[in-house]
C-alpha cells in the first residue's frame, strides 16, 4: 500500500509509477481527509509514503495524516513487520524533511513498529512561485528532471521489490538524499518562516477579466479551500487549511489567479501540462 499526497501532480505520478512497478495499491492522502484513516494490510504487503517537500519540511496534510493513521493486519494477532519506504519529490533540495518524517512514522499505530527500510528523493519540475526569483523550470530542464526521476524511481522500485534491508542504523539511500547546503538552517529557521508566514491563502486573488468561472481551481484544491465551481468566481476560505501548493494557480487555464504581485509574469506547471 502506497500513501501519497500531491498538489501539482509530481508526487501522484511518482506514486503511480511505484504502484505499477510493485503491483501495489495507492491511496491519496487528501482523499482521506474527514474519513477513516484505518487501513488493513495484507500479508507481506509493503508500506510506502510519497509526498512533496513543503518549505523543507513535511507538508501539514501529511503530518496530520500520520498522526491519525492506524495500520491493521489481516491477521489481527500478527506482529510481522512490513517493509516500509518513503520517496520525496522536490524542486530543489529536501533539507531535513526525512529526519522529520522519521519521527512521525515511529508514532504510527500498527501491529508492529514501522521502521523505514529504504528512502529516496528525486528532483521534479519546480512549482513553487510564491517568492521573488522563484519560477517554474524551463521546458528543457523540466523534461530532464522528469526523465532522471523516472530512472531513479524505477531503480528504487527494484530495491523495494527485492526487500533490501537497511544498513546499520539508517535506511538504504539515507546518505544519498538530496539535502542541499546547510539543511538544518533550511528545515529549521527558514522552514519555520515558511510555515508561519508563507503558507497562507490570503494573498490569492482573481483577475476577474480573465476568469471564465470554469471551476477548475476549486476542483483541484487538495484541501477544499476554495469556494467556487462552474459559474462562480473563486474565493479562498481563509480557514487555515491552505497548503500554498499553488495547484489552483497552476491549473487555471487563463492564468487568472495571482498570489499578490509575486506571481505576475511567472509560468505555470502541473504534471502533464505540456503534453495535455
Q: Over the stretch 156-197, which tens digit does the pLDDT of each residue have?
A: 999 999 999 877 889 999 999 999 999 999 999 999 999 999
Query: What pLDDT digit, counting tens, does each position of 223-259 carry?
Result: 999 999 999 999 999 999 999 999 999 999 999 999 9
Of 128, 158, 183, the residue that ends a domain is 183
- Mean pLDDT for 63-73 is 94
Report the CATH number at residue 135: 3.40.50.360
Global pTM value: 0.95
Which range marks the domain in which residue 256 is found? 200-270
User: How many DSSP H helices and E strands does the chain contain?
Assistant: 8, 12
Q: Do the domain assignments include residue 276?
A: no
Specify whether 132 is located in the same domain as 246.
no
Specify whether 176 is located in the same domain as 236.
no
Cα 210-212-216 angle, rounded to 5 deg: 110
- Which of 2, 26, 263 minimizes the C-alpha distance to 127? 263
pLDDT reported for residue 34 = 85
Report the CATH number at residue 240: 3.30.70.20
**Residue 169 CA: distances (Å) to CA of 67, 117, 166, 172, 175:** 24, 10, 7, 10, 12
Least confident of 39-43, 83-87, 96-100, 270-274: 270-274
Check pLDDT > 50 for residue 276. Answer: no
In the chain the first and final C-alpha atoms are separated, in Å, by 29
pLDDT reported for residue 193 = 95
Specify whether 103 is located in the same domain as 58.
yes
Q: Do the domain assignments include residue 225?
A: yes
Q: Do the domain assignments include residue 139?
A: yes
Specify whether 204 is located in the same domain as 170.
no
- Mean pLDDT for 49-78 is 90
Q: Above pLDDT 70, what percent of the chain?
A: 97
Specify whether 212 is located in the same domain as 178.
no
Q: Are 98 and 88 in contact (CB under 8 A)?
A: yes
Q: Do the domain assignments include residue 129?
A: yes
Specify whether 164 is located in the same domain as 253.
no
Of 129, 158, 183, the residue that ends a domain is 183
**Residue 97 CA: distances (Å) to CA of 138, 170, 213, 220, 241:** 26, 15, 37, 25, 20
Q: Above pLDDT 90, what percent of the chain?
A: 86
Specify whether 20 is located in the same domain as 145.
yes
Query: What pLDDT digit, counting tens, does each position of 19-63 carry?
Result: 999 999 999 999 998 898 999 998 889 999 999 999 999 999 999
Check pLDDT > 80 for residue 275. Answer: no
Of 183, 211, 244, the residue that ends a domain is 183
Specify whether 63 is located in the same domain as 88.
yes
Strand partners, 235: 227
Q: Do the domain assignments include residue 157?
A: yes
Domain count, the chain: 2
Q: Do the domain assignments include residue 262?
A: yes
What is the residue-averaged pLDDT of the chain? 94
Q: Do the domain assignments include residue 242?
A: yes
Specify whether 161 is located in the same domain as 221.
no
Amino acid at each position: 500500500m502506497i500513501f501519497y499526497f500531491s498538489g501539482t501532480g509530481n508526487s501522484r505520478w511518482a506514486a503511480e509509477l511505484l504502484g505499477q512497478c510493485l503491483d501495489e495499491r495507492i491511496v491519496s492522502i487528501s482523499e482521506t481527509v474527514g474519513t477513516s484513516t484505518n487501513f488493513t494490510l495484507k500479508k507481506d504487503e509493503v508500506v510506502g509514503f510519497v509526498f512533496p517537500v513543503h518549505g523543507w519540511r513535511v507538508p501539514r496534510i501529511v503530518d496530520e495524516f500520520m498522526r491519525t493513521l492506524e495500520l491493521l493486519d489481516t491477521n489481527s494477532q500478527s506482529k510481522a513487520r512490513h517493509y516500509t519506504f518513503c520517496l520525496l519529490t522536490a524542486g530543489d533540495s529536501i533539507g531535513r524533511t526525512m529526519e522529520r518524517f522519521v519521527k512521525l512514522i515511529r508514532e504510527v499505530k500498527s501491529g508492529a513498529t514501522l521502521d523505514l527500510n529504504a528512502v529516496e528523493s528525486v528532483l521534479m519540475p519546480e512549482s513553487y512561485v510564491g517568492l521573488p526569483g522563484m519560477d517554474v523550470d524551463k521546458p528543457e530542464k523540466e523534461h530532464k528532471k522528469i526523465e532522471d526521476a523516472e530512472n531513479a524511481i524505477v531503480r528504487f522500485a527494484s530495491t523495494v521489490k527485492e526487500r533490501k534491508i537497511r544498513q546499520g542504523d539508517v535506511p538504504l539511500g539515507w546518505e544519498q538524499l538530496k539535502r542541499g547546503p546547510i539543511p538544518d538552517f533550511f528545515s529549521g529557521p527558514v522552514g519555520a518562516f515558511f510555515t508561519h508566514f508563507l503558507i497562507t491563502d490570503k494573498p490569492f486573488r482573481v483577475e476577474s477579466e480573465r476568469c471564465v468561472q470554469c471551476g477548475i481551481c476549486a476542483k483541484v484544491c487538495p484541501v477544499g479551500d476554495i469556494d467556487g465551481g462552474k459559474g462562480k468566481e473563486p474565493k479562498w476560505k481563509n480557514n487555515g487549511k491552505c497548503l500554498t501548493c499553488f495547484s489552483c494557480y497552476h491549473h487555471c487555464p487563463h492564468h487568472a489567479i495571482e498570489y499578490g504581485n509575486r506571481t505576475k509574469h511567472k509560468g505555470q506547471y502541473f504534471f502533464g501540462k505540456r503534453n495535455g
